[in-house]
């Protein structure tokens, strides 16, 4: 069911027709029996249940941190941070563990495997399914499913309801939902076989998303290794190598300062930009992302002709973030590609324009964004008032190895091929994620009913 074509069929399916018809005689049940505030119209063969009718709501607590004998045991002990940093939707290990003595000293209990951990403080509504017995701190109101509800169906319903749960904790100084509030939350409860079909579809889709993310992570590791190799060994058969600050590089590659290969370096405009479309499109820090220029949330600046003449961007200009509160963001850079309109750039960016008879701008981009370039760049980053800053003077002193121009082009071609593969994988993951987001609510609300046979993963049948 993780097949993209099948998922797209579900996403475009017509709404289910198993509703109470307008002509149907009313029963003793009130209209609310067939809907909730979150799910106003449900199939008539679905029930509405409070969470405490289908699951046990279990809080947690923290053993005294002054007692060493309570900590470092074998019992996983989850905090909300374990969930917010989780890759995937199951949890089998935690950063901290407690002992039996720690467990007995508190009001916390061990959740059985295949409970639904639900955060109830700060980041309200984060969920995961534990695959091993696990305790939690007081930042949870977790759910131990009863016989009427499947663990994974419950997980997906609660995940879909996360914004609603968060709204229950709003309005207080410290955002939190109580055990009583969680117990009173109503959820739709289809027949068990339909729960399994819904959970199976969404579980398989999630596995596709997680596997694609793993592929992206692996591609990034490969990319970093290849980039380091081509930046220090090149693409040709080099015989002699010389030890430099970047490591061993071909002896026929000179090491130059960036200032030696520039024709212009300039700070951007400090004129106020706006969103009304008047003036020139202006690139800012948020538009320099992952080695490329984006046009998300583009702003505009009204400038004089003389200012535009100085600040207009050309094909091959390198834009560098010169200041940021995050040290990893200061110095990130991207090459401007020609647009139909005239673009300018804001003051927190620096534009470098190169002598392209000597250096390929994209080669410089790859070097500066690499681990080798970061080490070289960090020597020129200064801190002030909590920000990390690069000046034009510092940038011009950065040293880079300079292969022959044709070899620079070959290096860029290799790296951009890797980037294209990553981008293709990223687009596929986003497509699956968007399809899942579109179908998830329709499935758990009964807008789309799955009557055909579904291959339900064994992991979903945990409590059947």
pLDDT in tens, 271-281: 999 998 899 99
Q: Is residue 24 scored above 60 in pLDDT?
A: no
pLDDT tens digits, residue range 54-82?
A: 999 999 999 999 999 999 999 999 999 99
CATH number at residue 174: 3.90.220.20
CA-based nearest residue to 326, from 413, 386, 391: 386
Question: Residue 250 is encoded by which pair of tokens?
Answer: 């071909």
Q: What is the mean pLDDT of the chain?
A: 90
Q: Is residue 438 part of a domain?
A: yes
Same structural domain, 341 and 356 = yes
Same structural domain, 115 and 148 = yes
H helix or E strand, kind and range, residue 231 = helix 192-233
Q: Find out whether 313 and 344 touch, Cβ atoms under 8 Å.
A: yes
Counting the structural domains of the chain, the total is 3
**186: β partners:** 50
Same structural domain, 306 and 419 = no
CA-based nearest residue to 42, from 190, 246, 195, 234: 190
Top-confidence residue, 421 or 36: 421
CA quadruple 177, 182, 184, 190: dihedral sign: positive
Q: Is residue 2 scored above 70 in pLDDT?
A: no
- Give one DSSP letter per residue of 151-176, joined into a string: HHHHHHHHHHTHHHHHHHTTTSSS-B
For residue 6, the model assigns a pLDDT of: 55
For residue 32, the model assigns a pLDDT of: 43
Q: How far apart are CA 390 and CA 331, in angstroms?
A: 7
Q: Is residue 247 scored above 90 in pLDDT?
A: no
Q: Is residue 20 scored above 60 in pLDDT?
A: no
Q: Is residue 245 part of a domain?
A: no
pLDDT tens digits, residue range 170-209?
A: 766 678 999 999 999 999 999 999 999 999 999 999 999 9
Q: Is residue 242 part of a domain?
A: no
Same structural domain, 333 and 281 = yes
Same structural domain, 76 and 177 = yes
Q: Is residue 122 scored above 90 in pLDDT?
A: no
pLDDT tens digits, residue range 333-344?
A: 999 998 999 999
Listed residues 402, 427, 450: the one ending a domain: 402
Same structural domain, 265 and 393 = yes
Same structural domain, 131 and 219 = no
Q: SS3 for 89?
A: coil
Q: Is residue 243 part of a domain?
A: no
Q: Is residue 246 part of a domain?
A: no
Q: SS3 for 90?
A: strand
Q: How confident is the model at residue 252 (pLDDT cuts 50, 70, 90)?
A: very high
Share of the chain above pLDDT 90, in %: 79
CA-based nearest residue to 154, from 205, 188, 108: 188
For residue 16, the model assigns a pLDDT of: 45
Same structural domain, 344 and 220 = no
Q: How confident is the model at residue 451 (pLDDT cuts 50, 70, 90)?
A: confident
Domain assignment of residue 212, given as a range: 1-46+191-237+404-464
Q: Is residue 133 part of a domain?
A: yes
Listed residues 402, 428, 449: the one ending a domain: 402
- In 99-246, at which residue ranges do the beta strands (DSSP E only) sit? 116-118, 127-130, 135-136, 141-145, 186-189, 241-244
For residue 107, the model assigns a pLDDT of: 79
For residue 463, the model assigns a pLDDT of: 66
As a whole number, mean pLDDT of residues 39-52 equals 90
CATH number at residue 413: 1.10.287.1120
Same structural domain, 129 and 16 = no
Listed residues 349, 367, 402: the one ending a domain: 402
For residue 41, the model assigns a pLDDT of: 82
CA quadruple 417, 423, 429, 431: dihedral sign: negative
Q: Is residue 383 scored above 80 in pLDDT?
A: yes
Q: Is residue 247 part of a domain?
A: no
- Give one DSSP letter per residue of 381-434, joined into a string: -EEETTEEE--HHHHHH-EEE---HHHHHHHHHHHHHHHHHHHHHHHHHHHHHH
For residue 19, the model assigns a pLDDT of: 39
Q: Is residue 444 scored above 80 in pLDDT?
A: yes
Same structural domain, 276 and 395 = yes
Question: Residue 427 is encoded by which pair of tokens?
Answer: 């687009």
Q: How far apart are CA 82 and CA 361, in angstroms?
A: 42
Q: How far apart are CA 232 and CA 372, in angstroms?
A: 9
Q: Is residue 4 part of a domain?
A: yes
Same structural domain, 285 and 377 = yes
Same structural domain, 398 and 260 = yes
């Amino acid at each position: 069911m993780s097949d993209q074509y099948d998922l797209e069929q579900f996403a475009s399916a017509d709404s289910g027709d198993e509703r109470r018809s307008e002509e149907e005689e009313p029963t003793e049940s009130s209209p609310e029996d067939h809907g909730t505030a979150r799910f106003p119209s449900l199939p008539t063969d679905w029930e509405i249940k409070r969470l405490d009718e289908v699951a046990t709501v279990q809080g947690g607590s923290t053993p005294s941190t002054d007692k060493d004998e309570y900590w470092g045991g074998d019992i996983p002990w989850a905090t909300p941070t374990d969930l917010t940093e989780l890759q995937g939707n199951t949890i089998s290990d935690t950063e901290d563990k407690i002992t039996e003595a720690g467990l007995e000293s508190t009001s916390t209990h061990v959740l059985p495997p295949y409970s639904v951990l639900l955060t109830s403080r700060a980041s309200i509504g984060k969920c995961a399914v534990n695959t091993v017995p696990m305790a939690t701190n007081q930042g949870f109101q977790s759910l131990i499913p009863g016989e009427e509800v499947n663990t994974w169906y419950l997980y997906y319903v609660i995940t879909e309801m996360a914004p609603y749960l968060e709204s229950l904790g709003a309005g207080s100084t410290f955002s939190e939902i109580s055990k009583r509030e969680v117990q009173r939350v109503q959820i739709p409860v289809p027949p068990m076989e339909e729960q399994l079909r819904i959970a199976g579809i969404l579980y398989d889709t999630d596995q596709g998303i997680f596997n694609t993310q793993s592929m992206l992570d692996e591609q990034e590791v490969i990319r970093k290794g290849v980039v380091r190799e081509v930046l220090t060994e090149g693409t040709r058969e080099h015989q002699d190598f010389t030890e430099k600050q970047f490591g061993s590089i071909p002896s026929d590659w000179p090491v130059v300062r960036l200032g030696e290969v520039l024709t212009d370096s300039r700070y951007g405009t400090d004129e106020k930009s706006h969103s009304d479309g008047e003036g020139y499109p202006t690139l800012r820090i948020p538009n320099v992302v992952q080695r490329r220029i984006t046009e998300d949330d583009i702003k505009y600046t009204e400038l004089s002709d003389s200012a535009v003449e100085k600040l207009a961007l050309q094909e091959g200009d390198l834009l560098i973030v010169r200041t940021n509160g995050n040290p990893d963001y200061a110095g990130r850079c991207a090459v401007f590609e020609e647009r139909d309109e005239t673009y300018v750039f804001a003051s927190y960016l620096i534009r470098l324009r190169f002598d392209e008879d000597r250096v390929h701008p994209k080669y410089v981009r790859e070097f500066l964004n690499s681990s080798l370039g970061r080490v070289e760049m960090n020597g020129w980053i200064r801190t002030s008032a909590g920000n990390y800053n690069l000046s034009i003077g510092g940038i011009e002193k950065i040293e880079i190895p300079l292969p022959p121009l044709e070899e620079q082009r070959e290096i860029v071609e290799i790296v951009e091929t890797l980037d294209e593969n990553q981008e293709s994988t990223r687009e596929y993951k986003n497509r699956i994620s968007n399809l899942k987001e579109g179908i998830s609510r329709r499935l758990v609300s009964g807008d789309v009913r799955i009557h055909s046979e579904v291959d339900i993963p064994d992991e979903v049948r945990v409590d059947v």
